[in-house]
Structure 1
């Protein structure tokens, strides 16, 4: 009889239950109760030990019996499970992962995240809630003026299904530029978060390029029974590496001078995977990089005021000068 992987896992759990008894169990008892060969019983105990669970060897009635240390046992209902020990760095990593997507607070997805952490807590020896409260005092997350997605749960769920199944969707979307709601057939590729917002990389039926849409502007969406092919060569991680915001235009090379008062701030961060920093004798710095989304880059430069100056490309220097003149005229 062929034993599938699921049955093997069940038998390992059953083996642990026997080891968790006050008297433990011998290899022979495990084999008899689980109706397996004694070699299988020995192998299951070895697997449990490889998971880092302490198994104590005790003498009982002239035979060796094996028992799980009580520190590694947690009873849930009528079943005993192995406890999992988390180190402080591991708990910090879990906490940071949990707090990474605060833009989904108030949605059903937050409930799923909390439920998953409660399940983790149920099989650990530590009070995870106490540890999390301690970690919160160490790592404070700043608020990014997150957008509200509490009314978009169903939309996010449908898009999740579409991405997993590679299905197209029919979408009603509000455009700020056109100030109207229009319907599109889209192929949703993946979500990403930026500046407190949740966005989606998509391909429109009538357009080959990958575009970005804001999730909160999706008014309605339905799943279509039509598959799509993931675009060849599309790499969202690489695209996001070289972007300043959520507008992804053709790549543009920029060369920007920053004053000495801002040079340290510019130098301490990596702004692009293909950046070059040139240090000037007066303490100022010149940053060269290839990026996408000129609108976002322009807004970023303007935010530095007189402490930043675009040097190249010349045509964008003229555009920036014109924008500054219009801003001056407004005052």
Structure 2
């Protein structure tokens, strides 16, 4: 192999390492690639000159290099900037589908071969997605923050501006596992202070109201759960790929205006008086979850919403007081009445 091809391959490898969610330091890159510090610095300059979104960040005494995920180049074909690649390097749709077909129809009996196939598939998915060619079987949810503070976490650069302490490795591992569809063994401490260890299939990592969470399916049972990262005591990513077991729409779940709750969804209908109606209609609501009727002769409107946040709905209705009347579902109406009776007893209003 000629020297030019070796250099080209090394730069491509460096680009791959720089896609690590935590970024890489120069000493780490030296160890990763087996070249000198001077060579790494020269390659970093070359990558910057290519116009790729390389940035750095001081963390303690170390400088970490990574790609700026907010740069508009990310998610597009950044490899077009590489002069060393042939024009036919970019995968078209047919080639992408063929790659998926090859992997989906490959069954390796021997573990050593199976592991290599899984590793190769993970590398191909990373390459395809970073170059702007995402598998049709994968739906990448764009980073977004809504009015409740829900933000998708793809890597450490998407985390809220606060220290995550020793949970950073867990967050990074979950982000990688959700992207590559890897099973994880998690040791989790519940609110009841019970510690259990079991296998999960992480679907997404997100921040919500200052906390970091993951939505995952359980490997043993056909249901999903929401886990708080701060309660995860240990996490191991297994060399085992998973296939979705539930029909949960993760993106839709994250749009629930009354919280991200692990239970069945239901529709509420609330009659809201004129004074509160305008306030509610001026707020930003998920269009596919919330609907307002036309005002009646008194200015009242019917507010309809699909949610799973029963507790938050009841608290919200108590806050609105006489300005809102819950119409349905009937079982929730009864729970609201019971909570009002309890509140009346507490304050001796009966």
Name whichever structure is richer in strand by fraction.
1
- Give the equivalent residue in structure 1 for 2:337: 321
Out of 156, 178, 185, the residue aligned to residue 163 of structure 1 is 178
For residue 213 of structure 1, report the CA deviation from its aligned partner: 1.4
The structure with the larger Rg is 1
- Give the equivalent residue in structure 1 for 2:106: none
Out of 325, 328, 333, the residue aligned to residue 309 of structure 1 is 325
Out of 226, 244, 247, the residue aligned to residue 240 of structure 2 is 226
TM superposition score normalised by structure 2: 0.52
For residue 201 of structure 1, report the CA deviation from its aligned partner: 0.9
Q: Supply the distance in 1 between the matched residues of 2:45 and 2:306 (Cα, whole angstroms).
A: 60
Kept in 2, the 8 Å contact 1:107–1:149? The answer is: no
Query: Following superposition of structure 1 onto structure 2, how do residues 1-331 of structure 1 map, counting pairs within 5 Å?
Result: 116=67, 149-176=164-191, 178-231=192-245, 233-268=247-282, 269-278=284-293, 279-331=295-347
Kept in 2, the 8 Å contact 1:242–1:272? The answer is: no
Task: Give CA deviations for 1:278-304 in whole Å, capped at 9, x if unaligned.
Answer: 213223322012222322322332332
- Give the equivalent residue in structure 2 for 1:123: none
1:301 alignment partner, SS class: helix
- Give the equivalent residue in structure 1 for 2:124: none
Q: Supply the distance in 1 between the matched residues of 2:274 and 2:162 (Cα, whole angstroms).
A: 35
Q: Supply the distance in 1 between the matched residues of 2:47 and 2:180 (Cα, whole angstroms).
A: 37
Kept in 2, the 8 Å contact 1:249–1:292? The answer is: yes
1:250/1:81 Cα in 2 relative to 1: closer, same or farther (>3 Å)? closer
1:298/1:142 Cα in 2 relative to 1: closer, same or farther (>3 Å)? closer
Q: How many residues are matched?
A: 220
For residue 215 of structure 1, report the CA deviation from its aligned partner: 1.5
Q: Supply the distance in 1 between the matched residues of 2:165 and 2:305 (Cα, whole angstroms).
A: 38
- Give the equivalent residue in structure 2 for 1:132: none
- For structure 2, list consecutive stretches of 5 or more residues without a partner in the other structure: 12-42, 52-57, 72-146, 151-159
TM superposition score normalised by structure 1: 0.54
Task: Give CA deviations for 1:100-153 in whole Å, capped at 9, x if unaligned.
Answer: xxxxxx999xx97x9655997xxxxxxxxxxxxxxxxxxxx9999998633311
For residue 182 of structure 1, report the CA deviation from its aligned partner: 1.7
